[in-house]
Structure 1
Amino acid sequence: MKLIVSDMDGTLLNQTWRISEENKQAILEAQKQGIEFVIATGRPYTNVTAILEEAGISCPVISLNGAETRDVEGNLLASQPLSKEQVRNVHNILLEEDMYFELMTSIGAFSLSEERCRAISRYIALRELPDLLEEEREKIVNMMFAERVRNENCKFVDSFEPLLEDNDIVILKIFALTTYEDRLVKADARLRKLDGLAITSSGHENLEVNNLNGHKGYAVLEYAKSKGIDASEIMAMGDSYNDLTMLTSVGRGVAMANASEHIRNQVAYTTKRNTESGVAHAIYEMLASRVQNV
C-alpha cells in the first residue's frame, strides 16, 4: 500500500470526536514508512484542520465528501461545487419537507436556525453518549457546538436568498438533518429525482448532497492518480454510506466494526470499532502484511 485514506466521524474519531493516541501513533508510523495518509470526510476543511493540529498530524484533506481536495499546506487542488440551480432545487425540497439543513460554502457554513442546530446536536450526543449524566452530556454538547461554530465559521441567517444570488459564493455541499424518519424518507426520495447530484448519508438522521462527482471515491482516485498511485495500492477506512464509493474502489477497503452489516458486507476487510482505535488496528495489520509479503 502506498496511500491510506481515512474517514473521520465513526472511523478515526472516538466517542468524544477526538483522535486517540493509538490512532495518532499508527498514522505517524505509516508516514514514517513512506506511506501517504489522507483524510476523506464530510466535514469542512477548517473543522478538520483544527482536529488534526490538536493531534499533531499533518496530511492532505479531502473535505465535504469530496467537494474539495487540499494538500498538506492547505492549497486547493480540486473542487466539485454545486450549481446555483442545483442548490435552489434542493433548497426548495428541504424547506417543503421541513428538514433542518445547512449550506457549506467557500466562506463557511450557513444555517437558518441556531435553536434547531443545537437541538439536533443534543439528540446526537444522547445517542452517542447514553451513559453520561445529563449535566456532563450538556457540557459536551455546548463545547462541541461552540467548536463547530468557530471552526466552520458557521453563521445563522434569516434567509439563504443572498447566498443563492451571490455568484462569488461557491456552494460545495448541503447537509440536512432531522429526527423525523418520515421527513428523511420523503426528502431523500424527492432529491434522488434531481439530476447531477450525489446523495449520501453519514448517519441515521442526515442527508448529504453534493455535485455528482463530489464524492469520496472520485476524489480519492483523482488524488491518487495525481501522485502516480494505482487504486490497488490504496487502503481506505470508513463506516458510513458516504464512504462506500471509496471503500469499494480501492485495493484494501476496510469497514469499521460499528458500520452497518450492509457496509461491512461490501468490503473484504473489517477492523475494530472507532471507540477501540480501529484505525490503528487496521493500519498495523496492513503494515504487518506488507512485511510478510516481502
Structure 2
Amino acid sequence: MQYKFTAADMDGTLLNDANEITKHTVENIRLAVSQGLIFSICTGRPIQGVERYLRQLGIQGPVITYNGAMILDSATGRILYRQELDRKDGRRILEIGLNYNTTMCIWSDNKLYGNQLNERIYKYSQAANVTPILMPSIDKLLSQGITKILWYDDTSKIQQIEKELLETAPFQSVTFCTSKPFYLEFFSSKVSKAAAIDRIGELYGFTQAETIAIGDGFNDLSMIRHAALGVAMTNAPEGVKECADYITTRTNNEDGVAEVLEKFVL
C-alpha cells in the first residue's frame, strides 16, 4: 500500500450536510482499515464531538482534535499530545473578544465555556455534544489552560475582525483562521493539522510520503499542503482547491471521502 495514513476533516468533508457519515463512506473506511490503512478523523472539534462517529466507524486509532492541539487514542481515550495557548496570548484573545462583544466559545480542560450563554453558543455546543458553562474569570480559565478559542458571529463581522487582526497582529504565537465563514478559531502557532500528522507518524511508524489529507476549509490548508496527497473537496472554496493535489468530483453529500479511498487506497 503506497499510502499508510489518511486524515479527514469532519464538517464539509467526512460528514454530509445532515452531520452524518453515509453508509457507503463507512464501508469504504472500514475496508481500507482492514487492509492496513490508519484512518484518523482530524477536526477542530473536541473529542466529545467525535465520539459518536468513532462508534459508527467502529475503528480504533489516533484522533486529531482542536485542529491538532490535542491527539487522543480512540481505543483508550489516552491523550497522546496536547498544546495549549500561551497565557499572554489567551488573555489577549479573551480581552479583544470582549471588546468586540462577539460570542466566544472557549475550550479549557475539555469543557466548553462561553462569555455569553446565547443562541449561538448553544447551537455550537450541539455539534460538540456538551453543555456550555458561563466563563469564570479570565485568570481562572488561564490557570486551567486554554486549548482553543472560537469566535462565533455574523459572517460580515467575522470577515472584518479577521482583517483587523491581520493588520494589527496583536498576538505573539497564535494561529487564527476561519473554519466556517462565521467561525474564527484561535490556537497556538505550534499547533496545526500538519504537525499533528507528523506526530502521529512518529508514534505509528509512517512517513510524510505515505500520507493523504482530505479537507474543505482554510483550517485544513496546512495538512493539504503537507501531505503527500493533499485533497480538497469539490465543495471547498477556490482558495483551498488551489493548494490541493487532487480535487474530488463528489461533494461531502456524495461520498467524496469514499471517492478518495476508492481511487488511491483500495
Is 2:191 the partner of 1:211?
Answer: no
Partner of 2:39: 37
Is 2:197 the partner of 1:220?
Answer: yes
Q: How many positions carry a matched residue from both structures?
A: 260
* Partner deviation per Cα, 1:166-220 (whole Å, 9 max, x = no partner): 5652210001111151354235532643110011221111111001112111111
Partner of 2:149: 174
Unaligned runs of 5+ in 2: none
* Partner deviation per Cα, 1:246-280 (whole Å, 9 max, x = no partner): 01001001100100111111111011210111000
Structure 2 SS opposite 1:257: coil
In 2: Cα distance, 1:166 partner to 1:199 partner: 19
Among 115, 122, 126, the residue aligned to 2:118:
115
Among 62, 65, 68, the residue aligned to 1:66:
68
CA RMSD of aligned residues (A): 2.0
Structure 2 SS opposite 1:38: strand
How far off its partner does 1:54 sit? 3.5
Cα contact 2:29–2:57 (8 A) shared by 1: no
In 1: Cα distance, 2:17 partner to 2:172 partner: 36
Larger radius of gyration: 1
How far off its partner does 1:50 sit? 2.2
Report % sequence identity: 27
Cα contact 1:113–1:156 (8 A) shared by 2: no
Query: Structure 1 residues 165 and 188, CA, compared in 2 at 3 Å: closer, same or farther?
Result: farther
Partner of 2:91: 88
Q: How does 1:181-192 map to 2 (within 5 A)?
A: 181-190=156-165, 192=169
How far off its partner does 1:51 sit? 2.4
Partner of 2:223: 246
Tell me the amino acid that sits aligned with residue 181 of structure 2.
H
Tell me the amino acid that sits aligned with residue 185 of structure 1.
Q
Q: Which deviates more from structure 2 when the two are superposed, residues 179-188 or residues 32-41?
A: 179-188
In 2: Cα distance, 1:6 partner to 1:12 partner: 6
Cα contact 1:102–1:176 (8 A) shared by 2: yes
TM-score scaled by length of structure 1: 0.82
Among 201, 212, 235, the residue aligned to 1:235:
212
How far off its partner does 1:156 sit? 3.0
Partner of 2:29: 27
In 2: Cα distance, 1:70 partner to 1:176 partner: 25
Partner of 2:239: 262
In 2: Cα distance, 1:24 partner to 1:69 partner: 22
How far off its partner does 1:57 sit? 3.7
Query: Structure 1 residues 103 and 115, CA, compared in 2 at 3 Å: closer, same or farther?
Result: same
Structure 1 SS opposite 2:89: helix
